[in-house]
Chains A and B, each alone.
Chain A
Amino acid sequence: MATQHSRSAARLMMAPAVILLLGWMLVPLTMTLWFSFRRYLPLRGGDQGWVGFDNYVRFVSSSSFWPAVQTTLIIVGGVLVITVVFGILLALLLDQPMWGQGVVRILVIAPFFVMPTVSALVWKNIFMDPVNGLFAHLWKFFGATPVEWLSQASVQSIIMIVSWQWLPFATLILLTAVQSLDGEQLEASEMDGAKPLQRFGYIILPHLARAITIVVLIQTIFLLSIFAEIFVTTGGAFGTKTLSYLIFQRVLESQNIGLGSAGGIYAVILANIVAIFLMRIVGKNLDA
Chain B
Amino acid sequence: MGQITLEKVSKTFGDVEVIPPLDLTIEDGEFAVFVGPSGCGKSTLLRLIAGLEDVTSGKMIIDGSEATTVPPAKRGLAMVFQSYALYPHMSVRKNIAFPMKMAGIDPAEQETRIEQAAAALNLTDYLDRKPGQLSGGQRQRVAIGRAIVREPAAFLFDEPLSNLDAALRVGMRMEIGELHKKLATTMIYVTHDQVEAMTMADKIVVLRAGVIEQVGSPLELYRTPRNVFVAGFIGSPTMNLIEGPEAAKHGAHTIGVRPEHIDVTEGEGTWSGVVGVAEHLGSDTFFHIHQTGLAETITVRAPGEVSFKHGDTIHMTPRPDLIHKFDAKGLRIE
Task: State the A residues within 8 Å of B (CB).
Answer: 182, 184-185, 187-194, 198, 202-203, 206-207, 209, 288
Given contacts A191-B72, A194-B102, contact A288 B89 (CB under 8 A): yes
Q: Given contacts A198-B102, A207-B88, list 16 more A-B pairs with CB under 8 A.
A: A184-B81, A184-B82, A185-B85, A187-B72, A187-B79, A189-B87, A190-B72, A191-B50, A192-B73, A193-B73, A193-B103, A194-B102, A206-B90, A207-B89, A288-B130, A288-B132
Q: Chain A residues with Cβ under 8 A from B102's Cβ?
A: 192-194, 198
Q: Chain B residues with Cβ under 8 A from A193's Cβ?
A: 73, 99, 102-103
> Once the chains bind, are B73 and A206 in contact (CB under 8 Å)?
no
B200 to A: closest C-beta gap in Å: 22
Q: Chain A residues with Cβ under 8 A from B78's Cβ?
A: 191
A69 to B: closest C-beta gap in Å: 35
B199 to A: closest C-beta gap in Å: 26
Report the Cα distance A190→B75, complex, angstroms. 11
Closest to A192 in B: B99
What are 29 residue pairs bridging A and B, where the CB atoms are less than 8 Å apart in the complex?
A: A182-B83, A184-B82, A184-B85, A185-B87, A187-B72, A187-B81, A188-B79, A188-B81, A188-B85, A188-B87, A188-B146, A189-B98, A191-B50, A191-B72, A191-B73, A191-B78, A191-B79, A192-B73, A192-B99, A192-B102, A192-B150, A193-B102, A194-B102, A206-B89, A207-B88, A207-B89, A209-B89, A288-B88, A288-B132
Q: Chain B residues with Cβ under 8 A from A182's Cβ?
A: 83, 85
Given contacts A193-B103, A194-B102, contact A187 B87 (CB under 8 A): no
> Once the chains bind, are A190 and B81 in contact (CB under 8 Å)?
no
Q: Chain B residues with Cβ under 8 A from A198's Cβ?
A: 102
Report the Cα distance A182→B98, complex, angstroms. 17
> Once the chains bind, are A187 and B52 in contact (CB under 8 Å)?
yes
B177 to A: closest C-beta gap in Å: 23
Closest to B143 in A: A188
Report the Cα distance A187→B83, complex, angstroms. 12
B202 to A: closest C-beta gap in Å: 24
Q: Chain A residues with Cβ under 8 A from B73's Cβ?
A: 190-194
- B114 on the A face (CB < 8 A): no
Report the Cα distance A190→B72, complex, angstroms. 7
Total residues of chain B contacting the partner, CB 8 A: 25
Q: Nearest 5 CB-CB pairs, A to B?
A: A193-B73, A188-B85, A192-B99, A193-B102, A184-B85
Task: State the B residues within 8 Å of A (CB).
Answer: 50-52, 72-73, 77-79, 81-83, 85-90, 98-99, 102-103, 130, 132, 146, 150
Report the Cα distance A206→B89, complex, angstroms. 7
Q: Quick one: which of B77, B90, B130 contacts A191, CB cutoff 8 A?
A: B77
Given contacts A185-B87, A187-B52, A202-B87, contact A192 B98 (CB under 8 A): yes
Closest to A185 in B: B85
Q: Chain A residues with Cβ under 8 A from B146's Cβ?
A: 188, 192
Closest to B72 in A: A191
Closest to B103 in A: A193
A125 to B: closest C-beta gap in Å: 47
Q: Chain A residues with Cβ under 8 A from B90's Cβ?
A: 206
Report the Cα distance A192→B51, complex, angstroms. 12
Q: Chain A residues with Cβ under 8 A from B82's Cβ?
A: 184
Q: Chain B residues with Cβ under 8 A from A190's Cβ?
A: 52, 72-73
Q: Chain A residues with Cβ under 8 A from B79's Cβ?
A: 187-188, 191
Report the Cα distance A223→B49, complex, angstroms. 51
A18 to B: closest C-beta gap in Å: 36
> Once the chains bind, are A187 and B89 in contact (CB under 8 Å)?
no
> Once the chains bind, are A203 and B81 in contact (CB under 8 Å)?
no
Closest to B99 in A: A192
Name which of A190, A192, A198, A203 has the most chain B CB atoms within 10 A of its CB: A192
Report the Cα distance A194→B150, complex, angstroms. 13
Q: Chain A residues with Cβ under 8 A from B81's Cβ?
A: 184, 187-188
A169 to B: closest C-beta gap in Å: 24
A30 to B: closest C-beta gap in Å: 45
Name which of A184, A194, A209 has the most chain B CB atoms within 10 A of its CB: A184
Report the Cα distance A182→B88, complex, angstroms. 11
Q: Chain B residues with Cβ under 8 A from A189's Cβ?
A: 87, 98
Q: Chain A residues with Cβ under 8 A from B50's Cβ?
A: 191
Report the Cα distance A192→B89, complex, angstroms. 16
Closest to B146 in A: A192
Report the Cα distance A190→B78, complex, angstroms. 11
Report the Cα distance A202→B99, complex, angstroms. 12
A209 to B: closest C-beta gap in Å: 8
> Once the chains bind, are B99 and A184 in contact (CB under 8 Å)?
no
Name which of B51, B52, B78 has the most chain A CB atoms within 10 A of its CB: B52
Report the Cα distance A185→B143, complex, angstroms. 11
